[in-house]
A and B are shown apart, each in its own frame.
Chain A
Amino acid sequence: MSAKDVNSETQGMDFVTSVPRRVVTVYLPLCIFVFILLFPFYWMAVTSIKPDAELLTREGNPFWVINPTLTHFHKLLFETAYPSWMWNTVIVSVVSTFASLFAAVLAAYAIERLRFTGSRPVGLSIFLAYLVPPSILFIPLAYIVFNLGIFDTRWALILTYPTFLIPFCTWLLMGYFRSIPLELEECALIDGATRLQILVKIVLPLAVPGLISAGIFAFTLSWNEFIYALTFISSSENKTVPVGVVTELVEGDVYHWGALMAGALLGSIPVAVMYSFFVEYYVSGMTGAVKE
């Protein structure tokens, strides 16, 4: 083993096990895991390009496609409101993510660094807010949304998504702000900088990885949100992708599996691409929130 491997501290004791043994105890189970975890995506993709004749038959090999077709995608993009669902999802996710980040940066800085009277209980209640699941909030929220007159608009989602985004982002950013040396701020204070200047010019540039983590995570959370969008939106053109695919593409007892899978695939790709660019940030965001 090279020195680098020894130093990386995470390799455990596996250099004492033999190769054939490792194949059985490590590679084989790992391959099975990866196969099962990825199979539904493969199945989605294959189904979405199969013509109906191949879909609705028990003959042939269903794992493969003989005459690939784009009719399902064509139907989806030109005969349904899919493009506007996509557009709604993008707008709602982006706006609620940025709004939540803005609120979370200020709140996390106040709790972690201004240390105002009562900042500890406030920090704790932010964490508790993170544990409140949407499934127990959607009924009263529907009531509120309706009374505010924003039912069936994008505002209903943009205003309610921060309820699960802000607690998460604040909690994550508190951890990042804690790791920034206090001395930097003290120097700036002595040099006459205001708190806002310190936040914008010193703390934020140092917390960029944390901002990216929180932003990516918040974006995927809002992209994936389902129960609020299902409850607060009723007209087809205002729906988001997950809700639109589930509620609009199923007509009676006839399931258009091809179009359903095409919709599921197209709706998953943006988050998957986003995720693939920022895997490290995403993982550190997820594990950071759990570890604190």
Chain B
Amino acid sequence: MNKLLDNRNFLGLVFMLPAAALLLLFLTYPLGLGTWLGFTDTKIGRAGEWVGLENFQYLFGDAVARLALFNTLFYTFVASVIKFVLGLWLAILLNQHLPFKSFFRAVVLLPFIVPTALSAIAFWWIYDSQFSIISWTLMKLGWINQYIDFLGDPWLARFSVIAANVWRGVPFVAISLLAGLQTIPVSLYEAAALDGASPWQRFYNVTLPLLTPIIAVVMTFSVLFTFTDFQLIYVITRGGPLNATHLMATLSFQRAISGGALGEGAALATAMIPFLLAAILFSYYGLQRRAWQQGATDK
């Protein structure tokens, strides 16, 4: 027995057991099961039969599903770009020599740590059609003459949920990029300044290249989380108005859980996987190429 416990392979197996059991049963198996369900006509309370690509064909011809795909891509793209720009800006601001620096850093992260469903409720109230605080302020300033129906108009609603998503995501991007910024030696900036580089040149030629690897990782995470977002939409609009803010995740919840069509919902969820893989591979190869350019050897 003792000899067996000295064997690293056996001991490794024992140590891996709790994690592996939970992950295989509740992660790997459902991943496969979900894909399989996508090819069946399973309903809640009724086992399904294999129907091949029928669900996918149906979804492809379904205007709401196509709209959800468009919404998801639009939401992910716009929100990620804004989060990146604002996040990088905030990171650079926080990297300055400031009084109460750690206080600022702690406060900035608050939107990221409170439950999204709960802060989304606050946004719902901020976007209220009758008592919105934004409308009230703009009215008092005399910029508008009637209350804005933020969640009633398709494009306004899209941008409203994007704003809420950006609000929640900027802290994560900013704090992660700040950690990257802090690893850049100040001597590089001094050398560049002595060579006559302007602040903009210092940013573009020193900060950005050195930050690229961490930007790639942070933005991959950000894109993945945004693409599969569910809570914000579910709480603020439930996909409305006229399905204008339905994302693939919220639509698959509606079809599978509220509507009972597990197979169809699973097909929708499965359809997200290629996009996620593409995002991961894009960042992975982008990262490799950058590392190679900077003189790293091939692994």
CB distance from A244 to the nearest CB of B (A): 10
Query: In the complex, are the beta carbons of A163 and B11 less than 8 A apart?
Result: no
CB distance from B255 to the nearest CB of A (A): 9
B253's partner among A16, A227, A291 (CB-CB below 8 A) is A227
Q: Is A92's beta carbon under 8 Å from chain B?
A: no
Q: Is B63's beta carbon under 8 Å from chain A?
A: no
Q: Is B179's beta carbon under 8 Å from chain A?
A: yes
Query: In the complex, are the beta carbons of B27 and A129 less than 8 A apart?
Result: yes
CB distance from B109 to the nearest CB of A (A): 7
Q: Is A166's beta carbon under 8 Å from chain B?
A: yes
Q: Is B243's beta carbon under 8 Å from chain A?
A: no
Query: In the complex, are the beta carbons of B22 and A159 less than 8 A apart?
Result: yes
Cα of A277 to Cα of B262 in the assembled complex, Å: 43
Main SS at interface, chain B: helix
List 14 A–B pairs whose Cβ atoms lie within 8 Å, in order of A's numbering. A10-B186, A37-B111, A43-B125, A55-B131, A106-B15, A114-B12, A129-B23, A133-B276, A162-B26, A224-B115, A226-B116, A231-B257, A257-B125, A261-B125
B13 contacts across to A, CB distance below 8 A: 116
Cα of A163 to Cα of B23 in the assembled complex, Å: 6
Residues of B within 8 A of A (CB): 5-6, 8-9, 11-13, 15-20, 22-23, 25-27, 29-31, 33-34, 37, 42, 86, 89-90, 93-98, 102, 104-111, 113-119, 121-123, 125-126, 128, 130-131, 133, 136, 167, 170-172, 175-176, 179-182, 185-186, 189-190, 193, 199, 202, 214, 217-218, 221, 224-225, 227-231, 234-235, 249, 252-253, 256-257, 262, 265-266, 269-270, 272-273, 276, 280
Query: In the complex, are the beta carbons of B126 and A40 less than 8 A apart?
Result: yes
B116 contacts across to A, CB distance below 8 A: 224, 226, 242
Query: In the complex, are the beta carbons of A139 and B221 less than 8 A apart?
Result: no
CB closest chain-B residue, reference A288: B179
A167 contacts across to B, CB distance below 8 A: 23
Query: In the complex, are the beta carbons of B272 and A136 less than 8 A apart?
Result: yes
CB closest chain-B residue, reference A115: B8
Cα of A170 to Cα of B18 in the assembled complex, Å: 12
CB distance from B238 to the nearest CB of A (A): 10
B131's partner among A56, A129, A243 (CB-CB below 8 A) is A56
Query: In the complex, are the beta carbons of B256 and A139 less than 8 A apart?
Result: yes
Residues of A within 8 A of B (CB): 5, 9-16, 22, 26, 29-30, 33-34, 36-38, 40-41, 43-44, 47, 55-58, 62-63, 102-104, 106-107, 109-111, 114-117, 119, 122, 126, 129, 131-144, 159-160, 162-163, 166-167, 170, 194-195, 220, 223-224, 226-227, 230-231, 241-243, 245-246, 255, 257, 260-261, 263-264, 267-268, 271-272, 275-276, 279, 282-283, 286-287, 290-291
Cα of A55 to Cα of B253 in the assembled complex, Å: 33
Query: In the complex, are the beta carbons of B34 and A136 less than 8 A apart?
Result: yes
CB closest chain-A residue, reference B22: A162
Query: In the complex, are the beta carbons of B34 and A140 less than 8 A apart?
Result: yes
CB distance from A194 to the nearest CB of B (A): 7
